[in-house]
Amino acid sequence: MAEKIYKYVVVGGGIAGVTCAETLSMLCQDDEILLITASPLVKVITNYTQISKTLEDFDVEERPMTSVETTCPNVKVIQKVIVSLNSELCVVTTTDGDEIKYNKICICTGGKPKVISKDNPYVIGIRDTESVKEFQKRLCKARRIIVVGNGGIATELVYEIEGCEVIWAIKDKSITSTFVDPGAAEFFLDKLKEKKDSKTGAPSKRLKYTTDDVPEEQPGSTTMGGALGPDWVRDLSMVGSQQISHKVHVEYSVEVKQIYNTEEFLSSGKVQNVLEGGDGEYIEEKWPVYVEFTNNKVFGADFVVSATGVVPATDPFTKGNQFDIAEDGGFKVNDKMETTVKDVYAAGDVCSASWELAPHWIQMRLWSQARQMGSYAAKCMVASMNGENISMDFCFELFAHVTKFFNYKVILLGNFNVQKRDNGQDYELLLRVTKNVEYVKVVLKEGRLEGAILIGETDLEETFENLILNQTDLTPFKDHLLDPNIDIDDFFD
């Protein structure tokens, strides 16, 4: 019998992989598509709505992997971990020695948390459902934890945790710096100090599956499940062991210098630093772990959460293959989502966009981009198979992200933090702030809109999106752009 060769293979059961497989299934209804996932639960997008040209909203559900076969009958899903790729022979090998042949393959293996002091038992990272369970198990007994990092996970955690003191250690001079500017950070600070009565927002109505509902993971497998995403904190109990509501201390402009266990610390001769740096009231207590920061202050805690970003999970594929790897560790992909190895595509957190990026688009490892890349990669694979040309998807024209921080709606558009700075160009910032209600910042370059940060219910997103895309010269209207008494939609009609 002839050896089976799959025309299309997709690796990864996260948003990028599942979207890629679903799109392939739709485009090639006569072909069998193989989706290989290490995790028994896959991530599926539901309730997708396009809010505007580039802004999108959707829910994400974790479902048993077989659900993809139900909705896409020409997709076969198997739970296996890929350990190597032979790109010459177009074969991937799994932990149990199975060899799978492909014509075209898309790697969507996501990322792993970039955990500081990875082997320290008191330091944990958060990525998937299992790691959150571990976090909750520890939190319910904890009186104080240290959260290191200043991005999405840290921001969501420090806002949600109750009944446990949080020391939030950040490298920067302002909070949430991966997403917002210092002005918006200041706007958020009130919420950080606010006493929380109970969880705000409606509980998620989504179905929840756990790994107990599905077959066991393969023995010996350490591969993680898909990354968590929007709303991951909403249904979770984030309560420690103390009778306190919400107590966060931000330690600014620091990095971790050293981590000690109790014995190491007590014999280190640095006990005095706790008195100087921490709240003196805790000096009598013994903590399981002590963290010394670069400002020489030391804080004791029950455990440390390292929310310090992700490293693309390229490992099993790189050995013996000539992949170009970007500085951030991802597979470099071109404008057709092709890696530098023939017939190998990559999408989602595992890849690094290495085409000439549109002026108002940046890559951030986000749920929406995983979906967009997975879908576009599938289209590129099919176009290549059919010898057709394909133009870049419109979603890569403008960076657009909707999320929620400190219970505010947050919309980020374009070059919102002047991440892409043209040297020699003057950028002008316009601001409109109403304390506890909204924060609006726009970035102008030569009178044209470059980007915007919209916090609160501003209703400005669609107009600003158009202004960035059209590059309208706003010089004559600049003074009215953020005037709350002017209906900006009418202004530009």
Ligand X SMILES: NC(=O)C1=CN([C@@H]2O[C@H](COP(=O)(O)OP(=O)(O)OC[C@H]3O[C@@H](n4cnc5c(N)ncnc54)[C@H](OP(=O)(O)O)[C@@H]3O)[C@@H](O)[C@H]2O)C=CC1
Residues of the shown chain interacting with ligand FAD in the complex, contacts defined by CB under 6 A: 11-17, 36-39, 43, 81-82, 108-111, 126-127, 152-153, 223-230, 232, 313, 316, 348-350, 365-368, 370, 403
Contact by Cβ (8 Å): 372, 380: no
Residue 17 binding result from ligand X, ligand FAD, none, given CB thresholds of 5 to 8 Å by partner type: ligand FAD
Query: Is residue 255 close enough to count as binding ligand X by CB under 6 A?
Result: yes
Q: Which two tokens stand for residue 24?
A: 């392939």
Task: Count the site residues for ligand X by CB under 6 A.
Answer: 22
The interface mask with ligand X, positions 389-428, x = CB under 6 A, is: --------------x-------------------------
Kindly state the smallest distance separating residue 13's Cβ from ligand X, in Å: 17
Of 184, 163, 162, 157, give the one whose Cα is nearest residue 172: 184
Kindly state the smallest distance separating residue 129's Cβ from ligand X, in Å: 14
Give the angle subtended at the CA of 347 by the CAs of 344 and 352, to the nearest 5°.
Answer: 95
Query: Is residue 292 close enough to count as binding ligand X by CB under 6 A?
Result: no
**What is the C-alpha R_g of the chain?**
24
Kindly state the smallest distance separating residue 41's Cβ from ligand FAD, in Å: 8
Contact by Cβ (8 Å): 218, 134: no
- Residue 85 vs 153, nearer CB to ligand X: 153
- Residue 119 vs 426, nearer CB to ligand X: 119
Query: Is residue 192 close enough to count as binding ligand X by CB under 6 A?
Result: no
Of 362, 334, 328, 360, give the one whose Cα is nearest residue 347: 334
CA distance 264 to 432: 50
Kindly state the smallest distance separating residue 174's Cβ from ligand X, in Å: 11
Which position among 84, 86, 103, 178 is part of the footprint of ligand X (CB under 6 A)? 178
Residue 178 binding result from ligand FAD, ligand X, none, given CB thresholds of 5 to 8 Å by partner type: ligand X
CA distance 259 to 274: 13
**45: which DSSP letter?**
E
CA distance 291 to 148: 10
Residue 72 binding result from ligand FAD, ligand X, none, given CB thresholds of 5 to 8 Å by partner type: none
- Residue 12 vs 300, nearer CB to ligand FAD: 12
Residues 6+ apart with CB under 8 A from 372: 393, 395, 396
Which residues, 148 to 177, sit near ligand X by CB under 6 A? Answer: 148-154, 156, 171, 177
Give the angle subtended at the CA of 72 by the CAs of 69 and 74, to the nearest 5°.
Answer: 85
CA distance 196 to 187: 17
Kindly state the smallest distance separating residue 422's Cβ from ligand X, in Å: 21
Kindly state the smallest distance separating residue 36's Cβ from ligand FAD, in Å: 5
Reduced to 3 states, what is the DSSP secondary structure of residue 282? helix
CA distance 406 to 192: 7
Query: Is residue 350 close enough to count as binding ligand X by CB under 6 A?
Result: no
Which residues, 319 to 348, sit near ligand X by CB under 6 A? Answer: none
Q: Which two tokens stand for residue 435?
A: 């304390």
Which position among 9, 10, 116, 373 is part of the footprint of ligand X (CB under 6 A)? 116
Kindly state the smallest distance separating residue 38's Cβ from ligand FAD, in Å: 3
Which position among 34, 366, 444, 454 is part of the footprint of ligand X (CB under 6 A)? 366
Residue 149 binding result from ligand X, ligand FAD, none, given CB thresholds of 5 to 8 Å by partner type: ligand X
Query: Is residue 365 close enough to count as binding ligand X by CB under 6 A?
Result: yes
- Residue 156 vs 160, nearer CB to ligand X: 156
DSSP string, 135-199: HHHHHTT-SEEEEE--SHHHHHHHHH-BSSEEEEE-SSSSTTTTTS-HHHHHHHHHHHHSPP-S-
**What is the signed CA dihedral for 81, 86, 89, 94, rounded to 10 degrees?**
-20
Kindly state the smallest distance separating residue 259's Cβ from ligand X, in Å: 12
Query: Is residue 310 close enough to count as binding ligand X by CB under 6 A?
Result: yes
What pairs with residue 400 in β-bridges?
A: 413
Reduced to 3 states, what is the DSSP secondary structure of residue 36? strand
User: What is the binding site for ligand X (CB under 6 A)?
Assistant: 116, 148-154, 156, 171, 177-178, 255-256, 307-310, 364-366, 403
